[in-house]
Structure formats: structure tokens, C-alpha cells
DNA sequence: TGATAAGTGTTACAGATTGGCATACTCTCG
DNA sequence: CGAGAGTATGCCAATCTGTAACACTTATCA
């Protein structure tokens, strides 16, 4: 794996518009002026509550591609909100293979796998140059105890994570390779849209292998699947660059 | 499906010991004298806190086999703790097939799929004559706000659910049929042990079809898998009655 | 700068696992 | 006792995997 170095500037013509436009990696950014505040933790909090949340958040230095946010079995201390970039969480199976348990994009919360046992159940790695807001969990608990809205919000975030995991359970236990890929692309599409980026044209930050490990397929099957979808004129693939050219057809693969 | 009728007394010789020994379906039972209190919600609460929790819990009439606790898209109002019996949660896919997302045993919490969206993401049905403690969620939130230990405990329960779901994700995306079955039996075994029942001899309350829908296999493959494990003298199967005869070998299927 | 190495992605083909169907048997319930 | 659900098993087909060869991109170093 070459996850060690920092992302190089794209050379392919036309991909510039697809690259991340992060909140500047500026620790002075606060929740109240972050453009992700309407899809992140602060939803449903009022100004003064956001201020209090802001006070416990640590805005660390950004992570380079391939750097770990935490590793499996690390002591659990914080959850993290993605400010810019993207991450993958993965676990190692008993025979040494890695399996991806999730991809995370701006505004999404990472690290809830550690809350129950006080140690992390998976490892989490930056897929590109990325920045995060660290939220020390003991302080989040203390503050949640003072702010019912925050407690409620965090219960909801965890509940949504559970629902998301159950949907993947369904996907993995009954969908074909092509359906899994369609579902994966649609999920990325809606999540890109949610953080103000194009829903039908984006750059995959993960490898075919990562996608395969997430969807329960081999990287060859992922590659073949993309080729097949392209042959049907549903998407257009140029290495990591994806364009969804027929959204309705992509949804139809799942429907009916 | 014949989920409509109430469980009949077992006729097979020797299965009596395998049947549920529920907390009596007596609404007067309280958390403080429930023998599940050390694996259910009240862990880490002191006497007075348990009392307060007790006050918001509704102990409804028991459910018969095949009865629904709630259905997909029902308004979310409560979470539930299993007192006796067992449940399955399932969802219907777009093509009308059902997929099981989880099985629940005494001391486990059901219904967290509704917390995020305020409506249930799955349906939940009793697999046998079962009883539950209903915990109205708005009251649980209010009480959690007063009792930091309870808030903490519920965060932990939800965190554990997330970890469990991620482990199933890994199982579904990389295990063979035989490994899935081994993992499933081991999970049941430890959960039976946790509620004071035999870890190596138990009665399956779900059909082969249910197991298949949960593990991403067809019922035929589940049946073949049980036969194969029996042929290897790892388990003994007599319809719904399972005996694990070689626990080490069962674990070895997953390990290494 | 250019050459080399390492990593990533695509495609073909053979092989393995699982699914789907048919059938027979078992168990439970009315 | 009969009906219907649930279970077991054989057979064949479909899908996905795994190997391998090759192309392409990115990183490293002379």
C-alpha cells in the first residue's frame, strides 16, 4: 500500500473541480461559522449551546493520506467529526485480511465504535489530506448532561448509525455485485450532495480494493462491475473519476 | 409461515430443560428483583437510580409467537428490554423478500432503530411466547438527563450495538457459509450462557429460513451447513435442537 | 530528468461456492 | 388422520472468486 505520502496534486484535466474544498485547516474555525454545521453535531442546538460545544472541541493538525486517526484496540477517548477530506474504518480478520467497515465524509461522526467498550473496535485512516474536530467523549457526556438538546442529538446520531449498519447488513446479505455497487455509488452521491458537492460527478478517494472490502466483493469484481455499468451507459469511469450519466437507471438496479 | 399460533409444549423427550425459563410474566416484577438486572439497562446504576428507572418502565402483557412488537415505519415511542423469550427484527426489501437484521434474547435491548428518525426502520416479531419491558423513550431521555449514569449506560448500549453491527458486516463480507454458521452458533452460545442457560445445548427458536436471511444464505445452505457440521461431529442437530459437541473445533472454523 | 519500482486497475479464463429447483421426509396442529 | 410448514438432500446452473497477464499511474532515486 502507498498510503504513506501526502496526496499529490491532480494532473488529469478537469478534475480540479472534483477535489475537496475543505473548510480551511484553521483552528480558529468554530462550529458557528463552519459551513457543515447543519449536518454535523450542532443541528438542533441554539447559539449559546453551540458556543459551549465549541469550547470542548479540539481542532488538531490535519492528517496526511494514510495517517491513522486511531487504531483498533486503542483506548477510546474521543469521537471525531470530519471537517474535510475522507476516512475509512477497517478491521483485521483472524487470517490477517483487512475488511472496511465504513467510509466517512465531511460532517459525519467517527469513533462511536469505542463508546461501549472504551476501546476502539476498528482502525480509522485518512484517505486523503483531511482534517477533523476532536470531541473528547467524557466532556461530551458532561455537556450532554447539561444540554438536553445535545444529549438528544447524540442519541439520534448513534441511532442513525445503527440504521445505516442494518441497511448494509441487508445489502450484504441479499444484493448482487452490481446492486451493491449501485447502492454504494448512490450513497456517495447523496452524501456528496449533502456537503454541497456535485452528486453526479466525483472522485473516489478509495481504491477498488477498499470498495471490495466494504461491499464483500473482490477488487476484480468491483472493477468488472464498474466496467459493466459503463458499458450500459449508466456511469462513466476514468480511473478514480466517476460520472453518473443515468441516475434513474442506477436507481432502477436496486428497485423493483 | 406459521407464526400465528402460540408455542406448543415440546413433545420431544429431553427438550424440556432447553425451553425458556422466563421471569414470571408478572407486572409486579421490578428491575431490582429481576435476575437479568446485571446484563440489562440497570448495570452501573445504584439502588435509588434503579428505582427511578423502574418507575418509567411499562410491563405489558406478554406476546404470543408471531406477534409484532412494532412494525417498520411505525412511529417510534419506546425501546424495549427482553424479559423472556426471543425476537427477530426484519425488513422487507424492494422486491418483497424479508431480511432478518437481528435476533434478541433476554436482557437485550430492542428498538434503537427508531431513535434517529423517530420511526422504526425494521419490524420486530416474537419468535416464541415472550415478555418485554417497555421503556418510553422520551421519559428515558428525561431521566438520562437527571442521571448521568443512565445516560452513560445508554450511550454504551448503543455503542455496543454499533460494534455488533460492524462485526456482522465483517462476517457477511468475508466469511464462508460454514464460518457464518459457526459464528452464529457461538454467538447464541455465549448469549445463552449470559442468561444462565446451557451454552452447549439449546433450542433454536428461529427457522432455517430466518437464519439464512440473517446470515445472507439460503435456507438450503443453512440446512446443508448444519448437516456438514454434524457429519464432522462438531455439533449434533435434531431439528431445532442443537448440541455443540466440540466447542474447540467450532471456534477453530473461525480462527487461524 | 529519465529510469525503475511499486502500486493500482482491467480483463480473460478456469474453478469453487452458493443458489435455485425438485423431491421426499418430518413435525405440528386442527 | 390430513394439511401445511419446516427441514434435508441431490442435481445443475449462475455467480463470484482467484490466478495470471498486462496496462497504466505514481513514487523513488540515480
Q: List pLDDT tens digits, range A172-192.
A: 999 999 999 999 999 999 999
Nearest-CB residue to A160 (from B116, B166, B213): B116
Q: Which of B159, B160, B167, B254 to mutate to test the interface with A (most CBs of A within 10 A)?
A: B159
Residue B14 pLDDT? 39
Whether A156 contacts chain B with CB within 8 A = yes
pLDDT at position B4 over 60: no
Residues of A in contact with B149 (CB under 8 A): none
Cα distance between the two ends of chain B: 39
- Please compute Rg for chain A using Cα positions: 19
Residue A28 pLDDT? 63
CB-strand contact B220/D, under 7 Å: yes
Q: In what order do the strands lie in the sheet with B87-92?
A: B68-70, B123-126, B87-92, B98-104
Residue A1 pLDDT? 36
pLDDT at position A211 over 70: yes
% of chain B exceeding 70 in pLDDT: 89
**Which residue carries 476501546 as its cell?**
A119
Highest mean pLDDT among A18-22, A230-234, B14-18 belongs to A230-234
CB-strand contact A223/C, under 7 Å: yes
Residue A49 pLDDT? 94
pLDDT digits over B199-237, tens only? 999 999 999 999 999 999 999 999 999 999 999 999 999
Q: What is the dihedral of CA A81, A83, A87, A90, to 10 degrees?
A: -10
Q: Is A48 exposed, middle or buried (0-12, 13-18, 19+ CB in 10 A)?
A: exposed
pLDDT at position A53 over 90: yes
Residue B239 pLDDT? 86
Q: The pTM is what?
A: 0.89
Pull the grid cell for residue B171: 462476517
pLDDT digits over B28-54, tens only? 678 988 889 888 999 989 999 999 999
Neighbours of A219 (CB within 10 A): 14
Scan residues 205-244 of chain B and list those with Cβ within 7 Å of strand C: 216-218, 220-221, 239
Whether A96 contacts chain B with CB within 8 A = no
> Can you tell me the mean pLDDT for A223-235?
93
pLDDT digits over B121-164, tens only? 999 999 999 999 999 999 999 999 999 999 999 999 999 999 99
Residues of B in contact with A168 (CB under 8 A): 165, 169
pLDDT digits over A118-168, tens only? 999 999 999 999 999 999 999 999 999 999 999 999 999 999 999 999 999
- Of all nucleotides, the one whose C1′ comes closest to residue A8's CA is D26
Place A256 in a pLDDT band, splitting at 50, 70 and 90: low
Residues of B in contact with A254 (CB under 8 A): 94
Place A29 in a pLDDT band, splitting at 50, 70 and 90: confident
Residue A26 pLDDT? 58
> Can you tell me the mean pLDDT for A69-97?
93
Shortest distance, CA A168 to any CA of chain B (angstroms): 7
Q: In what order do the strands lie in the sheet with B235-238?
A: B201-203, B241-244, B235-238
Residue B27 pLDDT? 56
Q: Which residues of B203-228 are buried (b: 16+ CB within 10 A; e: fewer)?
A: bbbbbbbbbbbbbbbeeebbbbbbee
Backbone dihedral angles phi then psi of residue A200, each to the nearest 5 degrees = -120, 10
CA atoms within 13 A on the CB side of B214: 22
Cα-based angle B173, B177, B183 (whole degrees, multiple of 5)? 80
Taken in order A72, A78, A79, A85, the sign of the CA dihedral is negative
Residue A39 pLDDT? 85
The answer to whether A222 and B61 have CB atoms below 8 angstroms apart is: no
% of chain A exceeding 70 in pLDDT: 89
Place A27 in a pLDDT band, splitting at 50, 70 and 90: low
Place A38 in a pLDDT band, splitting at 50, 70 and 90: confident
Residue A196 pLDDT? 87
> In whole angstroms, what is the distance from residue B22 CA to residue B45 CA?
23
pLDDT at position A79 over 50: yes
Q: What is the dihedral of CA B66, B67, B70, B74, to 10 degrees?
A: 100
- Rama region for A214: left / alpha / beta (φ>0; ψ in -120 to 50; rest): alpha
Place A93 in a pLDDT band, splitting at 50, 70 and 90: confident
Q: What is the dihedral of CA A227, A232, A238, A240, to 10 degrees?
A: -70
Q: Single out the residue of B211, B215, B131 nearest to residue B169, CA to CA.
A: B215
Whether A111 contacts chain B with CB within 8 A = no
Q: How far is CA B84 from the centre of its chain?
A: 10
Residue B94 pLDDT? 79
- Of all nucleotides, the one whose C1′ comes closest to residue B209's CA is D6
> In whole angstroms, what is the distance from residue A173 CA to residue B169 CA?
9
Which A residues in the span 195-224 are in contact with B, Cβ-Cβ below 8 Å?
Answer: 213-216
Kindly report the average pLDDT of chain B as a whole number: 88
pLDDT digits over B102-116, tens only? 999 999 999 999 999
Amino acid at each position: 500500500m502507498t498510503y504513506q505520502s501526502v496526496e499529490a496534486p491532480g494532473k488529469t484535466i478537469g478534475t480540479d473541480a472534483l477535489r475537496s474544498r475543505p473548510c480551511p485547516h484553521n483552528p480558529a474555525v468554530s462550529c458557528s461559522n463552519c459551513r457543515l454545521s447543519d449536518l454535523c453535531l450542532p443541528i438542533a442546538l441554539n447559539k449559546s449551546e453551540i458556543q459551549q460545544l465549541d469550547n470542548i472541541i479540539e481542532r488538531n493538525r490535519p492528517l496526511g493520506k494514510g495517517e491513522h486517526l486511531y487504531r483498533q484496540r486503542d483506548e477510546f477517548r474521543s469521537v471525531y467529526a470530519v471537517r474535510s477530506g475522507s476516512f475509512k474504518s477497517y478491521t483485521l480478520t483472524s487470517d490477517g485480511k483487512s475488511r472496511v467497515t465504513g467510509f466517512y465524509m465531511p460532517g459525519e461522526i467517527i469513533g462511536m465504535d469505542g463508546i461501549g467498550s472504551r476501546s476502539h473496535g476498528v482502525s480509522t485512516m485518512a484517505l486523503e489530506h483531511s482534517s477533523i474536530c476532536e470531541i473528547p467523549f467524557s466532556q461530551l457526556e458532561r455537556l450532554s448532561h447539561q444540554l438536553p438538546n445535545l444529549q438528544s442529538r447524540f442519541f439520534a446520531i448513534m441511532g442513525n448509525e445503527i440504521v445505516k449498519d442494518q441497511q448494509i447488513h441487508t445489502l450484504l446479505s441479499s444484493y448482487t455485485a452490481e446492486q451493491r455497487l449501485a447502492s454504494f455509488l448512490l450513497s456517495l452521491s447523496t452524501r456528496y450532495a449533502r456537503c454541497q458537492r456535485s452528486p453526479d460527478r466525483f472522485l473516489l478517494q478509495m481504491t477498488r480494493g477498499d470498495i471490495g472490502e466494504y461491499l464483500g466483493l473482490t477488487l476484480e469484481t468491483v472493477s468488472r462491475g464498474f466496467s459493466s455499468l459503463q458499458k450500459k451507459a449508466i456511469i462513466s469511469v476514468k480511473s478514480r473519476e466517476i460520472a453518473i450519466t443515468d441516475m434513474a437507471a442506477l436507481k432502477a438496479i436496486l428497485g423493483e
